[in-house]
Amino acid sequence: MRYGELFREENEHVAERYRLTIDRLGRIPGENTVDPRFRSYFEKVASFLLFIDRVYGLCESGNVRKMSAGELAELNHSLYEDVLPAHYGESFANPAYAAQRMGAELGPLLSFLYTEIRGGIVYAFESRLTDITILNELFIEVYNLFEEGAGTEDGAPAVKEVQSALYWFVSDYCDVTVPYRIRESVDPALDFAADIIMNSDLSDTRYLYFFGEYVGERELRVAEYLNSLDEETIGKMAHTFTEGYRKGFEVTGRDLAKKKTVTIRYELGFERMIRQAVLDFEAMGLAPIFCRAAVNCVNRTPGRRTGYHGSTPNPQYDYDHRYDQAIYLDKAFRDRKLAVLKVAYEQWKKEAAVYAGPAVVETFGEAGFEPQNKPEAFGLTQKQEKLSIAYANEAMELQNRYIPGEEVSFTIIAFPVPEIGGNFPEIFAETIRINTLDYEVYRDIQQKLIDVLDKARCVRIKGSGGNRTDLTVCLKPLADPARETNFENCVADVNIPLGEVFTSPQLKGTNGSLHVSNVYIGSIQFKDLVLTFEDGMVKDYSCKNFEDPEEGRTLISQVILKNHPTLPMGEFAVGTNTTAYAMAQKYGIIDRLPILIVEKMGPHFAVGDTCYSWAEDTAVYNPDGKEIVARDNEISVLRREDVSKAYFGCHTDITIPYSELGGIWAVLEDGSEIPVIGDGKFLVPGTEELNKPLT
C-alpha cells in the first residue's frame, strides 16, 4: 500500500469532522464576536487554516505537481512568509509581538497555538487529514473560549482556561502524535519523501516544492549545482557515504545482514546524491526510511532538527519556540507520554528490530546565528528541566530495549552550502577530496600516535596566544598493553572525514580549563567559550555572546549542558586531518565549518555520554587487533546499578583548532613527557606526513 493510500483510508473516518471545521473557519473572518484585542489574531489564523485547506486540495488532486516553477515558488513563499525575518517582527508566531498585541500571558499561549497550526503545511502535503482536523478543532475550541470571554469584564477567558485547552490537546492526542513519530522512524512503507526522491525528474527543480518544506535560494542552488556534476562525482559522494555506513558495522563487529532498513537524514537540495545512496543501500539489503524533522512540539527536540528538512526560514523563530513544552510539561504528562511511547514501540517492534541506524548528511557554510533571548518566549522551570531530563533518560532506555545500541550503527558526512561564499564550487570539490582521503595512510599514521598515548597516565593540553586552555586529561590504566589500548583508531567509517584518535577519559584527575575563541554548536556560534573541569565534571562555564554574563551561562546550560547541572567529559580526541585544516585556512572558512570536520582539526573534547554509550559491553578492536578498553567512565559504569544515573542523552564536541594550540604532551607514570604536538607540528616519529599540509 502506497503512502497516499494509507492516509486516504484513514481520511474516510475524519472527513466529516474536517468538513465541519472548514465550514466553521470560513465564518470566522468578518465575525465580531471576540474582543477587538484578539480579533486580528483569530482572523489571521483562521485565514491561514483555510489556506492550508486549499493546499490540501491541490495535493490530494495532484494539481500541485502540475504547477509551474513560478507558481510553486509563490505558493511556498506564501506559506512561510509570515515567519521570514522581514515579517517576523509583526507575526503572531513571534511571542514578543503576540504579547505586545494580546497581553503578556495570553499572547505567548496564542503564539504557541499558531506555531503548532503552522505544522499543517506539511500535513497538507502528506495528506494527513487527521492531523489537520485536530488542529482545526483545537483552534475553534480556543476561539469559542474567547467568544465566551468577550462579555466578561476582561473581555477574555481566564489564562488557565486557554492553557488547559492546549494542555489537554497535547496530552489527549499524544496517542496519535507519538506513535506516528515512532512509526515514521522505522517503517519504510511511509514513502512520501522516497517517492519524490526516486521518481521525480531531478533536473527539474520544481520537485523541491513537493516536500512541503521551506525552499529558499540555498535549496535551489544546491540542487542546481549537483545537477551540474557528472555521474562519477555523484557516485563518489554517495559511495563514500554508504561505504562509511557499511564499515561502521564491520569495524565494530556488528551484523548488518540482520538489518533491513536505514534512516537517511539530509537537507533538501542533495537529492541527486541521496538517490544514488538509496541504490547503494538497497544493494546492501537496506530499504530507505525518510523521516521528516518533527514539526509538532510534542516530538521536537530543543535546538535540533532530526530528520530530512529544508533550511529554516528563520532561526530566531525556531529559537523562540524551543521550550514551548513548558506549557504542558508536568509529571502526569511525562508519565503519559512514556506510557504511549512504550505502546508505540511494542506496536512497531518488528520494524524496530531490523532497523540499522541513521545515515546523516549535514551542511555547513551559513553565517553564525546570534540568538536574541526574549522574556516572552517560554522557558522551563527547574522542576520542568528535571522532568525533561528524566523523560529523555527513560525514553532512551526504552528505545534501547527495542533498538539495542550494540546492534546498530550510523554514519555522518557534511557538504557546504552556497552561503559559504563565492568559492562555493571550489570548496565543495575540496570537501569531496577531504571526505575521500586514503584510509590506509591515516590508519598507519594514527597508530603511531596511539602507541605513544598508550604509554601515558594522562595527557596535558595547553593553548597558545589568546587561548587560555590548560587541561590535564587522565587515561584508564592498561592492564595488558600488549593486547589493550585506550584510543580508537578512527578512520573513514561512522564519522566522515577520517582523522582522529579518541578515548573515554578517566574522570578522576581530569582537571583544568578548556577555552575556544569561536565554535559552532549546532547553528549557534559561541564566542570565547570557557568550560572548567574538576575531576572530569563541568564545574563552571562562560561565554561572551551577550553583554550580560548570565545570559551566556543560560545559553551554555541550554545548548551544551542540555539543562543538566553538570556533565562529564565523555571524550578526549586528537584530530589528525591537517588537509581539512589547510583547506579551511586557504578559504578563510574555519568559523563556518561544522564540528564534524572541525573535530578532526585539533584536539577535541565532548561533554556528555561517551562514544560507546549503551554499548559499553560490546568489545571493540582497532585494526592492529588490540581491544579498546576505555569504553566506560565513572559515570557510565553506574548503569550496572541504576541506569538512570549513567546516561545524559547528549554528546557535544568542542575543538581547539591547531592555530590556538600551544601543545599536547603524553605524561608518563614517572612524570616525564613525550611531546605529541608543538610549535604547530606533529612531533611523534612517523607522523611527519601530517605536517605537509600545515606548511
pLDDT tens-digit map of 125-173: 999 999 999 999 999 999 999 999 987 888 999 999 999 999 999 999 9
H-type helices in 298-373, by residue range? 315-320, 331-347, 349-353
- CB count in 10 Å sphere of residue 309: 19
Q: Give which of 99, 87, 81, 84 is closest to 41, Cα–Cα.
A: 99
**pLDDT tens, 238-268?**
999 999 999 989 888 899 999 999 999 999 9
The pLDDT, as a whole number, for residue 417 is: 97
Residue 104 pLDDT greater than 50, yes or no = yes
Reduced to 3 states, what is the DSSP secondary structure of residue 685? coil
> Of the candidates 115, 137, 121, which has an alpha carbon nearest to the alpha carbon of residue 41?
115
Name the phi and psi angles at 423, rounded to 5: -90, 20
- Residue 457 CA to residue 480 CA, distance in Å, equals 14
Determine the angle formed by the axes of helices 174-186 and 331-347, rounding to 10 degrees: 40
Residue-wise pLDDT for 436-447, tens only, equals 888 788 999 999
Domain edges within the chain = 3-172, 185-412, 438-691
| Mean pLDDT of the residues in the chain | 94
Cα separation, 225 vs 664, whole angstroms: 41
Please state, in angstroms and as integers, the Cα–Cα distance from residue 587 to each residue in 316, 365, 420, following that order. 28, 12, 10
Q: Please state the rounded mean pLDDT for residues 1-15.
A: 56
Residues 6 or more apart whose Cβ sits within 8 Å of residue 641:
none
Q: Are strands 500-503 and 488-490 parallel, antiparallel or unpaired?
A: antiparallel
CB 578 within 8 A of CB 688: no
CB atoms near residue 209 (< 10 Å)? 25
Distant-in-sequence, close-in-space partners of 614: CB < 8 Å, separation ≥ 6: 396, 400, 404, 405, 406, 647
Rounded Cα gap, residues 574 and 661, in angstroms: 12
150, 30 in Cβ contact below 8 A? no
> What average pLDDT does this structure show over 48-69?
97
* Cα 514 to Cα 687: distance, rounded to the nearest angstrom: 25
Task: Please state whether beta strands 661-667 and 500-503 pair in parallel, antiparallel, or not at all (unpaired).
Answer: unpaired
Q: State whether residue 549 is helix, strand or coil.
A: helix
Write a three-state SS string for 564-603: CCCCEEEEEEEECCHHHHHHHHHHCCHHHCCHHHHCCCCE
Is the peptide bond prior to 497 cis by the omega test (within 30 degrees of 0)?
yes
Longest distance between any two alpha carbons in the chain, whole Å: 83
- Helix, strand, or coil here: 366? coil
* Mean pLDDT calculated for residue range 647-653: 91
Residue 430 CB neighbours (<10 A): 20
pLDDT at 471 > cutoff 50: yes
How far is 442 from 354, CA to CA, in rounded Å? 33
Task: Classify 372 as helix, strand or coil.
Answer: coil
Per-residue pLDDT averaged across 504-514, rounded?
97
Q: What is the CA radius of gyration of the chain?
A: 26
CB 380 within 8 A of CB 389: no
Return the axis-axis angle of helices 424-435 and 578-587, rounded to nearest 10°: 180
Question: Residue 644: which pLDDT band, with cuts at 50, 70 and 90?
Answer: confident
pLDDT, one tens digit per residue, over 517-552 is 988 887 788 999 999 999 999 999 999 999 999 999
564-616 per-position pLDDT tens digit: 999 999 999 999 999 999 999 999 998 888 888 988 988 999 999 999 998 89
How many CB atoms within 10 Å of residue 258?
12
Q: Kind of pairing, strands 603-608 and 287-289?
A: unpaired
Rounded CA-CA distance 675/460 in Å is: 10
> In this structure, how many other beta carbons lie within 10 angstroms of the beta carbon of residue 624?
12
Give residue 525's identity as a one-letter amino acid code: Q
How confident is the model over 452-464, as a mean pLDDT?
A: 97
For 275-285, letters b (16+ CB in 10 Å) and e give: bbbbebbeebe
Measured from the Cβ of residue 228, the count of other Cβ atoms closer than 10 Å reads: 8
Q: Residue written as cell 562555493?
A: 424
Q: Is the pLDDT reported for residue 11 higher than 70?
A: no
Q: Are 225 and 428 in contact (CB under 8 A)?
A: yes
Nearest of 92, 527, 134 to residue 321 by alpha carbon: 92
Instruction: List, in order, residues 6 or more apart from 109 with CB less than 8 Å away.
Output: 159, 162, 163, 166, 327
- The string of DSSP codes covering 604-625 is EEEEES-TTTT-TTS--B-TTS
Give yes or no for residue 62 having a pLDDT over 60: yes
Residue that has been written with the C-alpha cell 604536538 in this structure: 677
The number of CA neighbours under 13 Å toward the Cβ of 117 is 31
d(CA 488, CA 248): 13
**Residue 30, exposed/middle/buried by CB under 10 A (0-12, 13-18, 19+)?**
exposed
Distance CA(283)–CA(272), nearest Å, equals 17
Whole-number Å distance between alpha carbons of 504 and 488: 10
Q: Is 309 helix (H, G, I), strand (E, B) or coil?
A: strand
Q: What's this model's pTM, rounded to 2 decimal places?
A: 0.90
- Which residues are paired to 654 by β-bridges? 605
Residues 38-65 have a mean pLDDT of 97
* Among 653, 654, 649, residue whose Cα is nearest residue 405: 649
Distance CA 311, CA 217 (A): 10
The residue ranges of DSSP E strands in 273-383, in sequence order, are: 287-289, 355-364
The Cα 173–Cα 579 span in angstroms is: 51
Contact (CB, 8 A) for 83 and 92: no
Average pLDDT on 87-93 reads: 98
Residue 3 scores a pLDDT above 50? no
Tell me the pLDDT tens digit for each residue of 608-633: 999 999 889 888 899 899 999 999 99
End-to-end Cα spacing for the chain: 59
Looking at residue 595, its pLDDT comes to: 84
